[in-house]
Amino acid sequence: MTALDARTDTTTGLRFPEGFRWGTATAAYQIEGAAAEDGRTPSIWDTFSRTPGKVRNGDTGDIAADHYHRVDEDVELMRRLGVTDYRFSIAWPRVQPTGRGPAVRKGLDFYRRLVDRLLDAGIRPVATLYHWDLPQELEDAGGWPQRDTSYRFAEYAAIMADALGDRVATWTTLNEPWCAAFLGYGNGVHAPGRTSALASLRAAHHLNLAHGLAARTLRGALPGASEVSLTLNLHAVRPCSQAPEDLDAARRIDAVGNRVFLDPVFHGRLPEDLVRDTASVTDWSFVRDGDLSAAAAPIDSLGINYYSPSVVGAGSSESPSPWAGAERHVRFEPAPGPRTAMDWPVDANGLHELLIRLRDELPGVPLVITENGAAYDDYADPSGNVKDPERVAYLHAHLAAVHRALADGADVRGYFLWSLLDNFEWAYGYSKRFGIVHVDFATQRRTLKDSARWYAEVIARGGLAEA
């Protein structure tokens, strides 16, 4: 598959390369439910969501979309859509409740059953080891700011490779470590809810180390054809003007939003400007000899999660801030254009910008869009239909941007739509719906939205109907 395979055909529209992977994605805590069944113990998100005032309406993931009990139904939905791949995450406390020691058999059996159902349906399983649900006992011991958590994560990776390595071909170590580090430990809007710039930077480093240790563990335990990956929510950062102070604001956000992960993982180094920017917070002495080379363990692809761009200028941000070293120098400005129910701007050009940047900065690294989608206030009408034309327009524009990046030489191998199901949307609880399948949380009834039918047609066609 090459970029030359992506073409515009006047009769069939925008065609994607042969073998392009068409997927959808979910996360364990957002859909599984069964929070206390079969040996599962609390994660940091169980604790956080049960803390008054942390999650809208006091919602928790205790039941969520009840996927734990509805695996067969949900896999059948994916089969009907025609997806080639399904990206799911494994709940660490479901298989290793304390983050240490042996696995719980029933927890492993759940994921074995899910993977078997996917394979029976002709769907390729893509497993993510960490989508933010750290076992609470590990947080009680210090969490991601503590070095030991990185080693516990590598042990957990070994458990999962042994359990599923013969059937799962693609493994992602971490999903969006920026959110885990800077929203979880910096401004506290995500679990575990801590507010410390130092803790967020320590967490970022130990997540990088955990990724590298787990990647090497997986590489040693999996069949030779298996793929090891990492997913980052890279920020498409734009200065509000070309004034030097606004350009510097964009540089600062790029350092703590993007290069804090890109540089260690792909180049085995810390960004020098980030070290300068954060000198008042830390001297980075928690980085030990060998850590950065460990973080730079080779991977087979990079996952990109993209929703909207960021526009920044010189100024200051609210405190506590997730932007360690930048909070007193940067303000965020609203981007123009329509907005989603999350109040995020809709701008597919940002996705193209990121892909072209990565084409240039990481030559030879295959890219996969591992999350892209939008929340809108859709609902089932009296006839039982869920019409969501805004989501269809959003997805169409972003897939067109991916196609344009392919034509411009970016090595993009697949697209995973976020999300399969309406779910527990973190601090927003059940108030935001990203799914292409509507979930009535009172009855757990699933209903295909118009966007699901549209996506099924895109998959069947191998691209978009019109240029």
Long-range Cβ contacts of 354-358 (<8 Å, 24+ apart) = 354/234, 354/236, 354/304, 354/306, 355/304, 355/401, 355/402, 355/405, 355/410, 355/412, 356/405, 356/408, 356/410, 358/234, 358/302, 358/304, 358/410
Looking at 176, 227, 327, 353, which residue is catalytic? 176
Looking at 139, 227, 353, 371, which residue is catalytic? 371
Q: Give the pLDDT score at 104.
A: 97
Q: Give the pLDDT score at 467.
A: 52
**Strand 13-15 and strand 463-464: pairing?**
antiparallel
Query: Apex CA 424: angle with CA 50 and CA 157, to 5°?
Result: 85
Is 371 annotated in the active site?
A: yes
| SS3 letters across the chain | CCHHHCEEECCCEEECCCCCEEEEECCHHHHCCCCCCCCCCCEHHHHHHCCCCCCHHHCCCCCCCCHHHCHHHHHHHHHHHCCCEEEEECCHHHHCCCCCCCCCHHHHHHHHHHHHHHHHCCCEEEEEEECCCCEHHHHHCCCCCCCHHHHHHHHHHHHHHHHHCCCCCEEEEEECHHHHHHHCCCCCCCCCCCCCHHHHHHHHHHHHHHHHHHHHHHHHHCCCCCEEEEEECCCCEEECCCCHHHHHHHHHHHHHHHHHHHHHHHHCCCCHHHHHHCCCCCCCCCCCCCHHHHHCCCCCEEEEECCCCEEEEECCCCCCCCCCCCCCCEEEECCCCCECCCCCECCCHHHHHHHHHHHHHCCCCCEEEEECCCCCCCCCCCCCCCCCHHHHHHHHHHHHHHHHHHHCCCCEEEEEEECCECCCCHHHCCCCCCCCEEEECCCCEEEECHHHHHHHHHHHHCEECCC
CB 47 within 8 A of CB 136: yes
What is the rounded CA–CA span in Å between residue 137 and residue 124?
33
Strand 463-464's sheet: what is its strand order? 7-9, 13-15, 463-464
Q: Kindly list the averaged pLDDT for each block of 10 residues, start to end, along the chain of length 467.
A: 38 87 98 98 98 98 98 98 98 98 97 98 98 98 98 98 97 98 98 98 99 98 96 98 98 98 98 98 98 98 98 94 97 94 98 98 98 97 96 98 98 98 98 98 98 98 87
- Check: pTM over 0.95? Answer yes or no: yes
Q: Give the pLDDT score at 7.
A: 43
Q: Give the pLDDT score at 466.
A: 72
Residues 6+ positions from 251 with CB-CB distance below 8 Å = 273
Given phi > 0 = left and psi -120 to 50 = alpha, else beta, which region is 193? left
Joined together, the tokens standing for residue 118 give 């996917």
What is the rounded CA–CA span in Å between residue 458 and residue 81?
10
Query: Apex CA 139: angle with CA 97 and CA 198, to 5°?
Result: 155
Q: Give the pLDDT score at 11.
A: 46
